[in-house]
Amino acid sequence: MALLSLISRYDWRGWVLPLALLLVWTLSTAFDWVDTRLLASPLAVLSAFSKAALSGELWVDLSASLIRNLNGFALGVLAGLLFGGLLGLSRQAEHWIGPTFHALKQIALFAWIPLLSAWFGFGEPAKVTFIALAVFYPVALNTFEGIRSVRRELYEVAQVLRLSPLQRLRYLVLPSAAPALFTGLHLGLIYAWLATLGAEYFFSAAPGIGNSMIDGREHFHMDQVLYGLMVVGAVGLLLNRLAQSLERRLLRWRDHR
Amino acid sequence: MTAAFLSLQRVHKSFALADGPLPVLQDINLNIRQGEFVSIVGGSGCGKSTLLRLLVGLEEASGGSLLLENEPIRGTDLARGIVFQDHRLYPWLTVEDNVLLALANAPLSKAQRHELVQEHLALVGLSGFAKAWPSQLSGGMSQRVAIARGLVNRPKVLLLDEPFGALDALTRAQLQDELARIWLAEGITTVLVTHDVDEAVLLGDRVVVMEPRPGRIRRVVEVNLPHPRRRDQLELVQLRQDILQDFSHSPNTALA
Amino acid sequence: MSNLPLISWRPLSLRADISRFSAPSLLWVGSKASALVFPALLLVLWQVAVNRHWVSAQILPPPSLVLESLLQLWHSGDLWRELSISLERVLIGFVLGSAAGLLLGIGMGLSRTLEAYVLPSFQAISQVPVLGWIPLLMMLVGIDESLKYLVIAKAVMVPITLNALAGIRNIPKGYLEVAQVYQLGLAQRLRRVILPAALPSLFTGVRFALTKGWIALVTVELLASSEGIGYLMVDGRQMFQLDLVIVGMLVIGVVGLLLDQGLAWVEMRLQRWQRPAF
């Protein structure tokens, strides 16, 4: 009964548009209303997907992208935490390097690509550096702002209780900064995936899901482009969900209101 | 009077403003005996909270001296505990862990710490709430936890900065009685800052009446009545009337 | 205090201890000027490093060369030509995207039914970054101007739609009830109540959208273009003239900042009614 009411309360109207689109898409390709080279049929996309999955090609591409993504993410998080932490904990550091950091932030991420390619070449190091750069900004900025969000009143408690610097970090600064820190990590995760895709477009060819899409376009394999698009969307969604559930778990104390 | 335990001599404090220094405390002289309960009462802007912040070591005096057992007060110290008006519990720590924080650097075993925390939570009537989050507590309960945190490491002096100011009248009365009970049992030297004259006379051995602009001591009133007291005692009511007279003379110093 | 504070607060002017801050204005001027010290030192170090051949000028073109290229591009009119092409693309994409976004956002704001049908699909589509759509769009429309317009329009549309929707959903119920009491028609309700009330949120969306559009432009120009500021960088990279690349980065940063700050200024002027009268 509970399940039934849950189903009946679910708003199915959101599915109408995608299903209608799918129907039009299927019909138009089935009856040759459009050139199937320009618009592959849903079945073709599905078969391209299953072929790639069965031959293992999909897993090679996906794991290559994910490893690249993870390496860049880890590097960017590390650099962002250190830099944002330094800027947040030291007024001096903020004073001297803060303005430069904020100015460099203005440069659109992708505008770094030509310079990075000149410095690091077109291989994995350039790709990972680019992903790390994409992650660095949101993580550094949110770490900085998180640390600065420590409330003066709570800081005074730490003073009165004579907590050591390490204890202050553990009991006051980190928990205070945690929500902003997670926002930074969350944004970093989203940016990392975006940058992984970008890195695979811009730098030289190597296995990767973005690369497979570019390949598909060059060889006019619409089915390959479309399934790539869906995999990209699905991975982005999964990463997003993962970050959300992790965040909820670690910030339990905020839930009891 | 016996030798001063906590002593303030010619204490002066001013803040720097854009258009020059603003004196907030002027020539404060006060000697407090060991085990004494002193209430400091005054309207807003009389510098009473600043005085407490000097005593706890969160602010530095611009002049004069503050001594505890003949040692100058410099910075914060575990010998001087404080309970703020806002409970200031860390929302990410449980009730128990908040109180434990005051013992973070105490030379005690884990078991001893836990025992002390349990003991003090019982003292403030919150035995069953050790694992609760601060956001699950009412204002009065949070303030009890703050009191437990202030007491648990046995400070020589307990400073109370309008600890019940943000509570409703019923909870306030209840906590005042409990504070009196705890103070009688523990005998810790206590300085209470408040704008509530009833509270000041109910709890204090002496009541220091302050006046504003710049903050200074108007007079010190002895409350020679045994503890515990009843709030409807005739002497208390008379004392309260007497002190309120001080504020009614000049309308611009009315109580907040 | 024997215990150094891990973090210290900048003393508020009201609270600052008088003995420590006797000449605040002098200190303030000093602190503003010193913010430039670090970048200045960095530039000097950079220049010296190249002059002394610690690093090759080709890998790290010295600031003097970057400045020279910038001035050269400026005087020859090349910079302005490429920039105006880029700006035109942003403008067209922005107009297209914001028109679609406004229509969709206001439509969904007015009709819960439309929202129920469209919003889930819209969110699914906006989840996939612009970059993911580019190969598909390239196949559908080629790599001409229309690709740039579409990519920019998509980037612009998402924040405008969502902010328009949020702006309308957050209108205090009382305002709408007043309109109901006076039996205002849809056109009147839109003009007198809904649009003015949703304007602040809408404008935030516009400002955010313009920044997004500018970033999308840079991306698409780097990927597929034969003119524009992004192409200037690609060209510089191919000829290994990194001074041109850095000029491009500078221009992109400055234009991005100007667009954002310009809109912030307009926002402030437009919404003066929001501020208290005194």
Nearest to C18 among B14, B74, B76 (CB): B14
Which candidate from C1, C2, C16 shows the least CB-CB separation from B16?
C16
Domain ranges of chain C: 67-274
Nearest CA-CA partner of C35 in B156, A83, A98: A98
Residues 15-74 of chain B with CB under 8 A from chain C are 15-18, 21, 59-60, 62, 74
- Chain mean pLDDT for chain C: 81
Distance of alpha carbon B141 from alpha carbon A123, whole angstroms = 61
Q: How far apart are CA C21 and CA C23, in angstroms?
A: 6
Across the interface, whether the CB atoms of B16 and C13 are under 8 A apart is answered yes
Nearest CA in chain B to C20: B16
Query: What is the tens place of the pLDDT at every residue in C212-270?
Result: 999 999 999 988 888 888 888 888 888 888 889 999 999 999 998 898 888 888 877 77
**Alpha-carbon span A176 to C120, nearest angstrom:** 34
Q: What's the first-to-final CA gap in chain C, in angstroms?
A: 44
Joined together, the tokens standing for residue C10 give 């900048």
Percentage of chain C exceeding pLDDT 90: 27
Residue C210 sits at the vertex; the CA angle it makes with C208 and C216, to the nearest 5 degrees, is 105
- Give 3-state DSSP helix, strand, coil % of chain A, rounded to 5: 85, 0, 15
Amino acid, res. B95: V
Distance CA C15, CA C150 (A): 54
CB contact, 8 Å: A249 with chain B?
Answer: no
Identify which of B17, B18, B75 has the shortest CB distance to residue C1.
Answer: B75
Chain B residues whose CB is inside 8 A of the C6 CB are none
pLDDT score recorded for residue C278: 43
Query: Would you say A128 and A75 are in contact if contact means Cβ atoms under 8 Å apart?
Result: yes
Q: Is the pLDDT of residue A257 over 50?
A: no
Length of chain B: 256
Q: Which residues of A touch C245 (CB under 8 A)?
A: 114-115, 118
Half-sphere exposure of B165 (CA within 13 A, CB side): 21
- Other chains touching B, judged by 3 or more CB pairs under 8 Å: A, C
Of A14, A115, A147, the CB nearest to C249: A115
Q: What is the mean pLDDT of residues A198-215?
A: 86
Q: Chain C interface, mutation test: which of A90, A115, A196, most C Cβ atoms within 10 Å?
A: A115
pLDDT value, residue B145: 93
* Cβ distance of B58 and A160 shorter than 8 Å: yes
Q: Which of A161, A164, A166 to mutate to test the interface with B (most CBs of B within 10 A)?
A: A161
> How many domains are there within chain B?
1
What are φ and ψ of residue C6, in 5° steps?
A: -70, -40
CB A182 within 8 A of CB A240: no
The per-residue pLDDT for C277 is 41
Per-residue pLDDT tens digits for A172-204: 999 999 889 988 998 999 899 999 999 998 887
For C156-178, what is the mean pLDDT?
89
Whole-model pTM: value is 0.81
Closest CA to A192 of A126, A148, A136, A257: A136
Write out the two tokens for B195. Answer: 């704008």
Which tokens belong to A150? 């420590």
* pLDDT tens column, C121-162: 888 888 777 888 888 888 888 888 899 999 999 999 999 999
Q: What is the pLDDT of residue A80?
A: 96
Q: How many CA atoms lie within 13 A of A86 on its CB side?
A: 12
What is the extent of the structural domain holding B100?
89-154
Nearest to B76 among A160, A253, A254 (CB): A160
Q: Which residue, among B139, B148, B143, B165, has the nearest Cα to B41 in the 3D structure?
A: B165
- Does residue B165 fall inside a structural domain? no
In this complex, is the C-beta atom of A122 within 8 Å of any C-beta atom belonging to chain B? no
Between chains, do A159 and B77 touch, taking CB under 8 Å as contact?
no
Please determine, for residue A37, whether its predicted confidence score (pLDDT) is greater than 80.
no
Question: What was the pLDDT predicted at B248?
Answer: 73
Residue A11 has pLDDT above 80, yes or no: no
CA-to-CA distance for A206 and A218, rounded, in angstroms?
15
Tell me how far the alpha carbon of residue A140 is from its chain's centroid.
15
Domain C67-274 has CATH 1.10.3720.10: yes
Mean confidence (pLDDT) of chain A:
87
Distance CA B27, CA B210 (A): 12
Q: How far apart are the first and last CA of chain B?
A: 33
Q: Tens digit of pLDDT per residue, chain B (256 long)?
A: 446 888 898 988 888 887 888 888 888 889 999 889 999 998 887 888 899 999 998 988 888 889 888 888 888 888 899 999 888 999 999 999 999 998 988 888 889 899 999 988 988 888 889 888 998 888 888 988 999 999 898 888 999 999 888 888 888 888 888 888 888 888 899 999 998 888 888 888 899 999 888 888 888 888 888 878 888 888 888 888 888 888 776 544 444 4
Q: How confident is the model at residue C1 (pLDDT cuts 50, 70, 90)?
A: very low
| pLDDT greater than 80 at residue A33 | no
- Please report, for residues A163, C164, C199, C265, the alpha-carbon distance to residue C270 in angstroms, rounded to integers and kept in the order given: 50, 17, 10, 9
- Chain A: list its partners (3+ Cβ pairs within 8 Å): B, C
pLDDT tens, C3-44?
333 443 333 333 333 333 334 455 555 556 667 788 888 888
| pLDDT for residue A124 is more than 70 | yes
The answer to whether B135 contacts A163, with C-beta atoms less than 8 Å apart, is no
What percent of chain A has a predicted confidence (pLDDT) above 90?
Answer: 37
Q: Tell me if the domain spanning A42-249 has CATH number 1.10.3720.10.
A: yes
Question: Which chain C residues have a beta carbon less than 8 Å from that of A99?
Answer: 35-36, 38-39
What was the ipTM of the complex prediction? 0.84
In this structure, the strands spanning B216-222 and B206-211 are antiparallel
Show Cβ contacts of residue C44 under 8 Å, excluding neighbours closer than 6 positions. none
State the residue for tokens 């860390």.
B90
CB pair distance less than 8 Å for C1 and B76? yes
- Provide the shortest C-alpha distance from residue A18 to chain C (in Å): 7
Say whether pLDDT at A62 is over 80.
yes
Q: Is A164 on the interface with C (CB under 8 A)?
A: yes
Interface check for A152 against chain C (CB to CB < 8 A): the answer is: yes
Mark which residues 191-230 of C lie under 8 Å from A by CB. Answer: 214-215, 218-219, 222-223, 230
CA distance C233 to C216: 15
Q: Closest Cα of chain B to A87: distance in Å? A: 24
Q: Any chain C CB within 8 A of the CB of A248?
A: no
For residue A148, which of A77, A83, A76, A85 has the smallest C-alpha distance?
A: A85
Contacts of B57 in chain A (CB under 8 A): 159-160
CA distance A125 to C180: 63
Stretch 222-241 of chain A: residues touching chain C, C-beta under 8 Å: 222, 225-226, 228-229, 232-233, 236-237, 240
Interface probe for C, chosen from A45, A94, A225 (most Cβ of C below 10 Å), is A225
pLDDT at C4: 35
Chain A contact set for B101 (CB, 8 A):
157, 161, 163, 171
Q: Which of A8-17, A41-50, B26-35, B128-137 has the lowest mean pLDDT?
A: A8-17
Minimal Cβ distance to B60: which of C17, C22, C24: C17
Query: Using the beta-carbon criterion (under 8 Å), do A152 and C9 form an inter-chain contact?
Result: yes
Nearest to C184 by CA among C175, C197, C171: C175
pLDDT band (50, 70, 90) for residue A65: very high
Residues 132-151 in A contacting C (C-alpha not used; CB under 8 Å): 147, 150
pLDDT of res. C29: 55
Q: Is residue B106 part of a domain?
A: yes
SS3 readout for B24-68: EEEEEEEEECCCCEEEEECCCCCCHHHHHHHHHCCCCCCEEEEEE
Tell me the residue ranges of DSSP E strands in C148-208: none
